[in-house]
A and B are shown apart, each in its own frame.
Chain A
């Protein structure tokens, strides 16, 4: 049985796009061939988990069954009741498998049996539905639509994280012909931009350059592991991270468009951001918006509702800390992911102080294209430094240096 990892090589695109041709023809003529879409999606999901990955496949099946039970059960419960304890229990139960998968390697030293490629992204979708049911923004959830949402093939493994109501509106029918053709145009553009990003630039930075700067940083490590090699590693890794993930995200959006679904974009020129807050509005946007809506905002409301902190500035600072700590833990239970989260929280808090200071002293402070360039330069370097923490390279450099 062959195994096909999403977007791993050019053949994957060829096979997937050929399989999607009937769906495309249908959409062009205003029909959505639901059965064909389902068959192709399921076939490609099965092919992701063949061979030695069969264990992950079983974990996925169990996971999906669990989430169905929770979401449909809670939706039914929510029709007549609105108990906070039930809601909290449902969310905790929904997150539980992901939590186990994230904590197991740190505690037991081996990956969890519950893990599979894409578990994080499915959890984001599932929790989002639970939250919207609680808020009443969502009145009912159909089992079929929830299944299509959760297991939407193009974004299954690593996002972008779509929203249920937006997604369901898209798949309810077919776009108008002119709209669909415009979508195809965008799909082709994103696909080829993605090839440039992931297979050329990501390869150049990640496969050709990264091992060299890593070697230089390890060999010439000075006090605290500092070296020019380490500085090189910081920038090369940052470029690699961006082009690899942005390339992947472009693929996911492009294939979504081919399937007549306008999945939201994940990146908007992140390195052109003038401050760290703006950076998070441009970098891994669907994730940061998810955290904004479901962690930051909720934390803020909770604190204000219960009057835990009176000072509004303090409230948002605490909410930032919690928001980015959760994000850090989500990346993985290692010191460098958690420090990465804290680093961004601190950066954004400092940024807030600065913005307030700037507002007060608007007359005295210059504002022109040079100060803007400086802002972009500083933000870029702060972000690159945070990615150096994120990369885990410091862990290797400081705590387990290779034998020389």
Chain B
């Protein structure tokens, strides 16, 4: 009878041991190939953003993170990734962001690369469209949510205003419903240290998630990579800034023939043509980017950058002026929002801010409604390329916790 029991449970025992070994052992997963890193750098997919292996290995090389959101996917010939590859710059952009990523998603997906990024440089494109009354869209947060990054953060969270705020914010997201993570978040939000047992369990879970990330994240050639390769071909082997400007104007003109708003033809056909545009007239009359949780969520990012001594070039892209006028967006309110954000940056010593918010009326600057393209990318490149080419300068950040307060989130700044 004993033998029969072994016959039944022996294989189960072996299976359990194998699975536990596979998930819990610190597996030597080796390095990703350069090709795989190149794919990951432009894929903007959730497995790259939520994972850690690709990001960590890329940052150890000459990749520089370009944080942003939907504008990163405007892969025309003047996109930072195309320019860097074609003209053999000393850096390669690693695109971190996609439609739906906002400060809170960035805050989490940063976690596993902060150590690599310490004392280095980064570029951050911050969209005013993030700063809605509601802030981070919970569904998008769920889409990009990463337990791996959350646990990485939890294990080094301290009893600070920033960490308590972050824990409280994460608790409002439906994605953080997992018992283990939720109770750890509650502990941090309450300003208490995690118990020894809880740390141990989180560490084991982290190892499991790391192995999953390493074993199951595959970085195949994406359509993005093919689009970029096609875009690069349109660029001349060498070009002066003036020649590039002329080319961007020509490409922009060739791609905006079907409408008077200066919107890319493909985008127009897919999203606005066939009577849909008329419905959007005046649709943004009540949009207001001046208040909301995003200002404090953004402060979490500033806190991270300061703590890890990262020199960040911020870029505030504009809104297509014709589009803004058509949809009735209030420019005075928009300007106040930009001023508020710039105040938050300036007062804390974040001085590298390229504010393009007034350039929405320049021809071929925007690729569509709110996304920078062609000449806009070139304008950004004029600031970003020298910043990344030059030696690293010391930074002097002075963090101010009042940006985590409700009174700041609701404050009106500027006339």
Contact = CB atoms under 8 A, between A and B. Distances in A.
B12 A181 contact: no
B5 to A, nearest CB: 6
Given A185-B7, A192-B12, 12 more contacts: A2-B179, A177-B1, A178-B1, A181-B1, A181-B4, A181-B5, A181-B8, A184-B5, A184-B8, A184-B9, A185-B4, A185-B8
Contacts of B4: 181, 185
Nearest to A51: B179
Interface residues of B, number: 8
A185 B9 CA distance: 8
A3 B7 CA distance: 34
Interface in B1-29: 1, 4-5, 7-9, 12
A316 B179 CA distance: 53
Contact of B12 (A2, A3, A178, A188): A188
Interface string B47-63: 00000000000000000
A1 to B, nearest CB: 10
A192 B8 CA distance: 12
Contacts of A185: 4, 7-8
User: Can you list the 4 inter-chain pairs with the closest CB atoms, starting with the nearest?
Assistant: A185-B8, A181-B4, A188-B8, A184-B8
13 contacts: A2-B179, A3-B179, A177-B1, A178-B1, A181-B1, A181-B8, A184-B5, A184-B8, A185-B7, A185-B8, A188-B8, A188-B9, A188-B12
Interface in A171-211: 177-178, 181, 184-185, 188, 192
Query: DSSP class of B's interface residues: helix, strand, loop or mixed?
Result: helix
Contacts of B1: 177-178, 181
Interface residues of A, number: 9
Contacts of B7: 185
B4 to A, nearest CB: 5
Nearest to A185: B8
A187 to B, nearest CB: 9
A184 B9 CA distance: 9
A231 to B, nearest CB: 26
Nearest to B2: A181
A315 to B, nearest CB: 49
A192 B16 CA distance: 12
A188 B8 CA distance: 7
A368 B1 CA distance: 46
Nearest to A177: B1
A11 B278 CA distance: 53
Contacts of A177: 1
A144 B319 CA distance: 72
A4 to B, nearest CB: 10
Interface string B370-395: 00000000000000000000000000
A2 B1 CA distance: 38
A3 B183 CA distance: 13
A181 B8 CA distance: 9
Contacts of A178: 1
Contacts of A188: 8-9, 12
A184 B4 CA distance: 10
Nearest to A3: B179
A2 B5 CA distance: 33
Contacts of B9: 184, 188
Contacts of A2: 179
Contacts of B5: 181, 184
A178 B1 CA distance: 7
A377 B281 CA distance: 54
Nearest to A191: B12
Contacts of B8: 181, 184-185, 188
B218 to A, nearest CB: 15
Nearest to A178: B1
A181 B2 CA distance: 10
A367 B399 CA distance: 84
A188 B10 CA distance: 11
